[in-house]
């Protein structure tokens, strides 16, 4: 297998291009490692000595090609300027000299492998890096998507790489290209969650000790409540999310694909896709109804992540041709004064938002109850009729016979000023009984009576 596991994540690891250990890295880890030990750990990484690594919550571990298996925890700490602390580590090969302030080179390598540089503020562990990174938002979205309904994953070897794909009936789909090292990493911990076509990444000597390291980290990072659940044979929701294939996959992608490669595209089919390296490395197709669940939380440039000021909903109400009824058309009034028909925006609807090309996603405010138009009579149930739902969202028609009831029910709403209403409709007076009936003709023939006359409505 060409290269090493560290090579597979080199493009997103801030130390990969360094020949010497940066001073700021030594400063970040100074409370727990001396510079000499850090340099030895750095040499292990550069030499490709890591056969498998483990990331779980604040814990990080690795199995090395000299049979060492090391791990430590790097949880948050407000007491230190670094914002984290290194604790509870161990190594199966080296003697632990923490009492003298010295940890081994394998633990140093583990700590260095876990560092990322999200900005100019310094190095932080992967867990903190993901919190302020688009990959973290992607992981959260994938976890939520899996909780709504299971995602079916399958993998197939194409050339030297593995192509992983997952899909759902709601339009969600995911595809990622994994190097042999990353495919083996995923198979080690989540092989049973994937349907492998053809060959399967082979199990090597690093897999069993890596799973032992993971079990230790899971135990050390569990809360008291989680320990009680685990003792009873259950896991918390947090543990299930942390141990999911979605979280593991996003971590691998975050470690191997820099955020600068992420792009958002709207396809000719109307679906938004988040891609890296032009779909080759990563592609995530978002269901229309949940598009803004992810894009709204991504800190990426462009209109696809822009949330526009809310539009004000209003309706245009007027008589139809030949007085066959009243038509109510729903509109949105934008902050700049533009007025857009909801009927014309249906192809650009994503959940409760509408996407405006080259501008962003348009939310709409909710009008107060006294200003909402109501149909004169209850319509037939439309819960499972998507066509009827779309028609109801863009407007409705009031038949001629229902106009009096409609006006009676909505008179104050029509006069509220929110809606654009035909003055003739506002001036419409509903007369329920005539004031006078004038008969002009009356004739009796056989069993029939013929009456002609006029109603006087006042």
Distance CA 273, CA 103 (A): 45
Distance CA 288, CA 172 (A): 9
Q: Which residue has the higher pLDDT, 368 or 458?
A: 368
pLDDT at 112 over 90: yes
pLDDT band (50, 70, 90) for residue 200: confident
Return all residues near 49 (Cβ < 8 A) that are at least 6 apart: 4, 64, 65, 66, 109
pLDDT at 191 over 80: yes
Terminus-to-terminus CA distance in the chain, angstroms? 96
Distance CA 35, CA 341 (A): 66
Distance CA 179, CA 440 (A): 95
434, 407 in Cβ contact below 8 A? Answer: no
The phi and psi torsions of 392 (rounded to 5 degrees) equal -65, -30
41, 108 in Cβ contact below 8 A? Answer: yes
Same domain, 116 and 61: yes
In a domain, residue 168? The reply is yes
In a domain, residue 428? The reply is no
In a domain, residue 93? The reply is yes
Same domain, 144 and 264: yes
pLDDT at 83 over 50: yes
Q: What is the pLDDT of residues 306-344, one digit of tens each?
A: 999 999 999 999 999 877 899 999 999 999 999 999 999
pLDDT band (50, 70, 90) for residue 121: low
Distance CA 332, CA 310 (A): 9
In the chain, % of residues over pLDDT 70: 90
Output the pLDDT for position 379.
52
Same domain, 396 and 253: no
Q: Which of 16-30, 377-391, 398-412 has the highest mean pLDDT?
A: 398-412
Q: What is the pLDDT of residues 202-223, one digit of tens each?
A: 878 888 999 999 999 999 999 9
Going by the DSSP 8-state scheme, the letter that residue 413 receives in this structure is H
pLDDT band (50, 70, 90) for residue 66: confident
pLDDT at 247 over 50: yes
Same domain, 238 and 264: yes
**How many structural domains compose the chain?**
3
In a domain, residue 456? The reply is no
pLDDT at 429 over 80: no
Output the pLDDT for position 1.
40
Same domain, 161 and 287: yes
Same domain, 245 and 347: no
Q: Which residue has the higher pLDDT, 156 or 2?
A: 156
* C-alpha radius of gyration, the chain, whole number: 33
Average pLDDT over residues 404-425: 91
pLDDT at 406 over 60: yes
pLDDT band (50, 70, 90) for residue 246: very high
Q: Among 156-160, 250-254, 443-447, name the one with the lowest average pLDDT.
A: 443-447
* Contacts by residues 83-88 (CB-CB < 8 Å, ≥ 24 positions apart): 83/124, 83/128, 84/58, 84/124, 84/125, 84/128, 85/31, 86/29, 86/31, 86/32, 86/33, 86/111, 88/220
76, 84 in Cβ contact below 8 A? Answer: yes
- Domain end, chosen from 274, 302, 330, is at 302
Same domain, 19 and 156: no
Rounded to the nearest integer, the mean pLDDT of the chain is: 87
Return all residues near 378 (Cβ < 8 A) that are at least 6 apart: none
In a domain, residue 322? The reply is yes
* Residue 62 in tokens: 């690795």
pLDDT band (50, 70, 90) for residue 382: low
In a domain, residue 452? The reply is no
Same domain, 412 and 349: yes
CA-wise closest residue to 304 among 362, 363, 361, 364: 361
Q: Which of 80-94, 119-133, 325-339, 433-447 has the highest mean pLDDT?
A: 325-339
Q: Which residue has the higher pLDDT, 343 or 387?
A: 343
**Number of helical H runs and strand E runs in the chain:** 15, 23
Q: Among 61-65, 382-386, 399-403, name the one with the lowest average pLDDT.
A: 382-386
pLDDT at 19 over 60: yes
Model's pTM, two decimal places? Answer: 0.82
pLDDT band (50, 70, 90) for residue 87: very high
Output the pLDDT for position 48.
86
| Most distant CA atoms of the chain, gap in Å | 123
pLDDT band (50, 70, 90) for residue 270: very high
Same domain, 122 and 152: no
Return all residues near 232 (Cβ < 8 A) that are at least 6 apart: none
Q: Among 55-59, 92-96, 386-390, name the one with the lowest average pLDDT.
A: 386-390
The parent domain of residue 282 ranges over 134-302
In the chain, % of residues over pLDDT 90: 52
Q: What is the pLDDT of residues 170-185, one digit of tens each?
A: 889 999 998 888 898 9
- Length of the chain as a residue count: 458
Average pLDDT over residues 411-419: 92
pLDDT at 364 over 90: yes
Distance CA 247, CA 136 (A): 9
In a domain, residue 27? The reply is yes
Same domain, 167 and 265: yes
pLDDT at 89 over 60: yes
Same domain, 45 and 93: yes
Same domain, 176 and 288: yes
Q: Which residue has the higher pLDDT, 122 or 288?
A: 288
In a domain, residue 395? The reply is yes
């Amino acid at each position: 297998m060409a290269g090493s596991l560290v090579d597979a994540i080199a493009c997103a690891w801030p130390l990969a291009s360094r020949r010497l250990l940066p001073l700021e890295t030594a400063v970040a880890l100074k409370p727990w490692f001396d510079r000499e030990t850090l340099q030895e750990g750095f040499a292990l990484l550069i030499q490709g000595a890591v056969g498998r690594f483990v990331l779980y919550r604040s814990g990080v571990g690795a199995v090395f090609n000299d049979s060492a298996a090391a791990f430590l925890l790097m949880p948050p700490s407000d007491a230190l300027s670094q914002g984290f602390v290194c604790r509870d580590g161990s190594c199966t090969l080296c003697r632990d000299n923490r009492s003298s302030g010295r940890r081994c080179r394998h633990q140093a390598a583990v700590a260095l492998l876990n560092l990322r540089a999200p900005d100019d503020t310094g190095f932080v562990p992967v867990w903190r890096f993901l919190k302020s990174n688009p990959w973290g938002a992607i992981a959260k979205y994938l976890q939520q998507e899996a909780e709504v309904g299971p995602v079916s994953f399958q993998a197939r070897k194409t050339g030297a790489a593995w192509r992983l794909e997952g899909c759902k009936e709601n339009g969600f789909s995911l595809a990622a290209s994994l190097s042999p090292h990353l495919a083996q990493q995923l198979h080690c911990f989540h092989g049973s969650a994937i349907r492998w076509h053809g060959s399967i990444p082979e199990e090597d000597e690093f897999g069993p000790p890596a799973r032992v390291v993971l079990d230790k980290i899971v135990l050390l990072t569990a809360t008291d409540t989680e320990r009680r659940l685990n003792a009873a044979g259950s896991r918390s929701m947090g543990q299930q999310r942390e141990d999911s294939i979605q979280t593991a996959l996003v971590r691998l992608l975050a470690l191997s694909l820099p955020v600068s490669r992420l792009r958002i595209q709207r396809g000719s089919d109307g679906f938004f896709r988040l891609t890296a390296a032009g779909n080759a490395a990563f592609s995530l197709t978002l269901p229309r109804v949940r598009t803004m669940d992810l894009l709204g939380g991504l800190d990426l440039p462009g209109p696809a992540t822009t949330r526009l000021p809310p539009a004000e909903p209003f309706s245009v109400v007027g008589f139809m041709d030949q007085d066959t009824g009243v038509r109510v058309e729903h509109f949105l009034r934008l902050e700049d004064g533009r007025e857009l028909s909801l009927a014309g925006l249906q192809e650009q609807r994503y959940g409760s938002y509408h996407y405006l090309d080259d501008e962003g996603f348009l939310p709409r405010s909710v009008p107060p109850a006294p200003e909402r138009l109501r149909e004169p009579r209850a319509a037939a149930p439309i819960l499972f009729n998507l066509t009827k739902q779309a028609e109801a969202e863009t407007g409705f028609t009031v038949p001629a016979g229902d106009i009096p009831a409609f006006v009676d029910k909505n008179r104050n709403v029509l006069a509220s000023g929110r809606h654009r209403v035909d003055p003739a409709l506002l001036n419409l007076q509903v007369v329920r009984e005539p004031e006078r009936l004038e008969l002009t003709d009356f004739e009796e023939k056989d069993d029939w009576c013929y009456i002609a006359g006029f109603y006087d409505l006042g």
